Amino acid sequence: MYKKARLRGRILPVNFFEKKLRSIVDFAAYTLYNRCCAAGTLAKRKKRISFIGELAAAAATVEKITGAPGCLEKRSGAPVFYVFRTRPQKTEKKEQGVFEKVSSYTENVRVAARNTDFLTNSVNPLIRFLSRLSQAVILLIACGWMLTGAMSLGITQAFFQYITLAAEPLTETSYMINSLQSALASAERTFEYLDGEEEVPDTEYPAALERAHGEIAFEHVRFGYTPDKILMQDVSFTAHPGQKIAVVGSTGAGKTTLVNLLMRFYEVNGGRITIDGIPTTDLTREGLRHNFGMVLQDTWLFGGTIAENIAYGKPTATREEIVQAAKMAKVDYFIRTMPQGYDTVLAGDAGNISVGQRQLLTIARVFLCNPPVLILDEATSSVDTRTEAEIGRAMQQLMSGRTSFVIAHRLSTIRDANCILFMEQGNIIEQGTHRELLEKGGGYAALYNSQFA
């Protein structure tokens, strides 16, 4: 199978392909690139079409990927090609099939772009041609009538003026046909958004919950993104205060959806969710989410100083509190090595620090807010093993006495959880401790053994 192929990825700038391609590419990447250029796909449609396909050695999948012309992806604003090599595993026929499919997709895009350009650019000349043709027809008819005395020269001139006045708006409209089509498409999407279902308003008399103890219960919860497609059929479990609840499963099993329901980003179709015995629908969204702290796998930092980013969830925090939170997240040393320390300004996408350092800063936010309930979605996925161990020790201190939900793919990080929820296709298939689920020998045991086999 392709998944067993050993890949060695290389990233090459596009201009490299213009100089010495043949020496590095082992299969048809160069051939495909040449075909596209010869057909005018890359040279003429630089900003109007997408180069489609992922050139993988084992030819595992073919995806449509939008990027700069002649490249598979953009890296820091620069277009690059991904070129892979494999050790021979009799994949020539399958590779050839994939390249033919990629070539077919690219050719379809080229033909579609050509036809679109032809139709768009032919409207204006066609209207002008019809205008001149109508003038020629009127001239021939008017000449005959003037010879017989049925029409005067002044009336003929008036007809010509009427034709010009009638054709001019049509000619101007033809110039704007592209903009009109884009505007109509945008208007359709805008009205579709405006006609969408409104968010359920908060209750008029919300319950008071300043700081939750952390007892959370799902009681026969049913949910689907659309009413006719129910994802969760009957989800029930209880998290007691101070417990560590791990949510595991394959990609798309519904782990993040479970957390989104808890935070009321979506409304349930049936059943209810309670926190300290109070249904979440009896609380305002702001009051509910005030009791949660989240660390997601995808980090988000804004343009500003490091101190401002850490204090995002608690704007009134003092510098001492910010420093203490950074120390607990094991990021204080890194910050002090920056040119202006905590006053160092991060770029809009925080591109001047590494991915792992960004994640550490988001973890520091949670330490600073000190919420009663924690949600960690692969919170240490972008840090090295040593840093992960340090954060793990700090997290143990932070989670002490607090309910925590941990979404994890690396099962080694959740073996000490009080309860593990194994999800599949939106439903909880198994739940129990690590030892109990291994002894059961079900889906969790199979997933665990696959990682440590």
pLDDT, residue 219, reads 92
Block residue for tokens 């909880």: 428
Q: With both helix axes pointing from N to C terminus, report the angle between 177-194 and 92-148 in degrees, rounded to the nearest 10.
A: 120
User: Which token pair is 47?
Assistant: 């900003």
Number of continuous H segments (helices) and E segments (strands) in the chain: 15, 15
Are residues 113 and 138 in contact, defined by beta-carbon separation less than 8 angstroms?
no
Backbone φ and ψ for 200, nearest 5 degrees, come out as -60, 125
pLDDT, residue 272, reads 92
Question: pTM of the prediction?
Answer: 0.59
Q: Beta 78-85 vs 304-305: how paired, if at all?
A: unpaired
Q: List per-residue pLDDT tens for the chain, 453 residues long.
A: 333 333 333 343 444 433 333 333 333 343 444 444 444 444 433 333 333 333 333 333 333 333 333 444 444 343 444 444 444 444 566 777 788 888 888 999 899 888 878 877 787 788 888 888 888 888 888 888 888 888 888 888 888 888 878 877 877 777 777 677 778 888 999 998 888 777 888 888 888 888 888 899 999 999 988 888 888 888 999 999 888 999 998 888 888 889 889 989 999 999 999 999 999 999 998 889 889 988 887 778 888 888 998 998 888 889 999 999 888 888 888 889 888 888 888 876 667 777 778 888 888 888 888 888 988 887 666 666 776 776 677 677 777 778 889 888 778 778 888 899 999 888 899 999 988 998 888 888 888 888 765
pLDDT tens across 46-61, in order? 333 333 333 333 333 3
Amino acid, res. 127: I
* Domain parsing of the chain, residue ranges: 2-113, 123-194, 216-452
Question: What is the rounded CA–CA span in Å between residue 219 and residue 217?
Answer: 6
Question: What is the rounded CA–CA span in Å between residue 403 and residue 213?
Answer: 8
User: Which token pair is 403?
Assistant: 């309910």
Cβ neighbours of residue 444 under 8 Å, at least 6 residues apart?
A: 248, 420, 422, 430, 437, 438
pLDDT, residue 90, reads 47
pLDDT, residue 256, reads 86
SS (H, E, C) the chain: CHHHCCCEEEEEEHHHHCCCCCCCCCCCHHHHHHHHHHCCHHHHCCCCCCCECCCCCCCCCCCECCCCCCCCEEECCEEEEEEEECCCCCCHHHHHHHHHHHHHHHHHHHHHHHHHHHHHHHHHHHHHHHHHHHHHHHHHHHHHHHHHCCCCHHHHHHHHHHHHHHHHHHHHHHHCHHHHHHHHHHHHHHHHHHCCCCCCCCCCCCCCCCCCCCCEEEEEEEECCECCECCEEEEEEEECCCCEEEEEECCCCCHHHHHHHHCCCCCCCEEEEEECCEEHHHCCHHHHHCCEEEECCCCCCCCEEHHHHHHHHCCCCCHHHHHHHHHHCCCHHHHHCCCCHHHCEECCCCCCCCHHHHHHHHHHHHHHHCCCEEEEECCCCCCCHHHHHHHHHHHHHHHCCCEEEEECCCHHHCCCCCEEEEEECCEEEEEECHHHHHHHCCHHHHHHHHHHC
User: Which token pair is 79?
Assistant: 């277009």
The domain defined by 216-452 folds into Rossmann fold (3.40.50)
